């Protein structure tokens, strides 16, 4: 018997009907936009030809719609359609970028990245270092999660082939200056890869102006479908495939493409191009509202990590003094949020991101990640803030405790 979908319950709060639990984990995944679902449904019902069949109308039709999707994705980042390579998601895109470039340039065996990268970057780098003789330099970050550009330049060697730096961190939302990093790479003929999964929904990315050679993105972080992502590969960038068996997608990533999923990703990018500024303004208002309330009520007992650095507005990394984050989540059954990235929570390890930022173990254990999205409402933020304050006061009744690594919010 198939599993049943969880049905939310509804309450009235501040004059609005809320569905509980309130979803606040947008860094892990975003809901599928109904317009994306509609666009995909045209290609999930009835017969769809193989887009790589060139001798009949069914193949031509599928190929045309995939090329249209590539055009939407390319337009979002100022690329050319043929430079968009579809993958199963951002994890595959990151692997393809790093392993593909390393294997295509066996004379240059040095890669630079950052200690706070996603595991989908760090683990491929570890594999290359362990099994393929590649030397990897992981740059440290400061207390706000930013790299030092002087340290980056100093780390570059004659055999450095690729530098990989994410545009926005998935745990803290901190944004690196990818335009400056791209300039550094271009001046030295180094391939620049950026994992832009978290940044694209609110930040303008221009692969041409920012000198990005390779860029990873994910459908389900852009209100599109799961199971589809893409790697932008600038024309002229040498990259070896991870799999073999066909000439599709310039032989970089062979295999028959899933037409409906490609359509979904393309439609998600088309919609995003029209509403990104509105999304950002909306999220800035929600973020400010929540931060002001928490700061006023909990004062020095809560800290917003990385807030002094440039950041995406929808991601809040919050540390609470004197409690364990798991205990706090236990007190918040009507909020769907997490203690960190979905990948880190599965392995049960403390956040390597917060550790790299110099946080103490006790404060890392007291940290939650709260993700807001374009469908989050002010009433949901108001309700969630009330719930968090009440839960903290339940765990710390009558106490005024300072967070140990830095007092209060900024």
Active site amino acids: 343
**What does the alpha-carbon distance between residue 71 and residue 335 come to, in Å, rounded to a whole number?**
38
Q: Strands 191-195 and 214-218, how do they pair?
A: parallel
The CA radius of gyration of the chain, in Å to the nearest whole number, is 22
> Which residue matches tokens 């501040």?
14
Distances 396 to 127, 160, 205 between C-alpha atoms, Å:
44, 51, 43
**What does the alpha-carbon distance between residue 188 and residue 75 come to, in Å, rounded to a whole number?**
27
Q: Token pair for residue 266?
A: 């393309």
Distances 17 to 24, 44, 125, 229, 321 between C-alpha atoms, Å:
17, 33, 47, 34, 33
Q: Strands 84-87 and 229-233, how do they pair?
A: antiparallel
**What does the alpha-carbon distance between residue 245 and residue 283 come to, in Å, rounded to a whole number?**
44
What is residue 291's three-state secondary structure? Answer: helix
């Amino acid at each position: 018997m198939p599993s049943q979908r969880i049905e939310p319950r509804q309450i009235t709060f501040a004059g609005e009907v809320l569905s509980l639990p309130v979803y606040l984990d947008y860094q892990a995944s975003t809901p599928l936009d109904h317009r994306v679902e509609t666009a995909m449904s045209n290609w999930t019902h009835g017969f769809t030809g193989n887009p790589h069949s060139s001798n009949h109308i069914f193949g031509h039709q599928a190929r045309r719609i995939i090329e249209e999707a590539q055009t939407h994705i390319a337009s979002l980042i100022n690329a050319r359609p043929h430079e968009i390579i579809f993958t199963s998601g951002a994890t595959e895109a990151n692997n393809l970028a790093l392993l593909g470039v390393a294997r295509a340039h066996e004379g240059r065996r040095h890669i630079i990245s950052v200690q706070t990268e996603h595991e989908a970057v760090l683990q491929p780098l570890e594999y290359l270092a362990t099994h393929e003789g590649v030397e990897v330099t992981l740059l440290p970050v400061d207390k706000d999660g930013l790299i030092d550009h002087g340290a980056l330049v100093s780390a570059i060697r004659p055999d450095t082939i690729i530098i990989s730096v994410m545009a926005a961190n998935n745990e803290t939302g901190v944004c690196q200056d990818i335009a400056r990093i791209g300039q550094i790479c271009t001046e030295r003929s180094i391939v620049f890869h950026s994992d832009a999964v978290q940044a694209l929904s609110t930040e303008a990315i221009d692969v041409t102006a920012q000198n990005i050679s390779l860029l990873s993105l994910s459908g389900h972080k852009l209100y599109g479908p799961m199971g589809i992502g893409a790697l932008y590969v600038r024309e002229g960038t040498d990259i070896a495939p991870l799999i073999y068996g066909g000439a599709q997608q310039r032989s970089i990533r062979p295999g028959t493409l899933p037409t409906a999923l490609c359509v979904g990703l393309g439609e998600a990018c088309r919609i995003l191009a029209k509403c990104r500024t509105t999304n950002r303004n909306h999220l800035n208002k929600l973020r400010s509202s929540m931060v002001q309330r928490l700061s006023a009520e909990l004062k020095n007992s809560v800290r917003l990590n990385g807030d002094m650095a440039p950041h995406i507005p929808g991601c809040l990394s919050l540390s609470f003094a004197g409690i364990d984050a798991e205990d706090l989540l236990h007190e918040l059954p009507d909020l769907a949020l997490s203690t960190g990235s979905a990948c880190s929570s599965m392995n049960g390890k403390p956040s390597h991101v917060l550790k790299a930022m110099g946080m103490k173990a006790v404060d890392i254990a007291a940290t939650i990640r709260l993700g807001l999205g374009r469908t989050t409402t002010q009433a949901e933020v108001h309700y969630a803030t009330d719930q968090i304050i009440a839960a903290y006061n339940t765990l710390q009744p009558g106490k005024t405790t300072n967070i140990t690594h830095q007092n209060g919010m900024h």
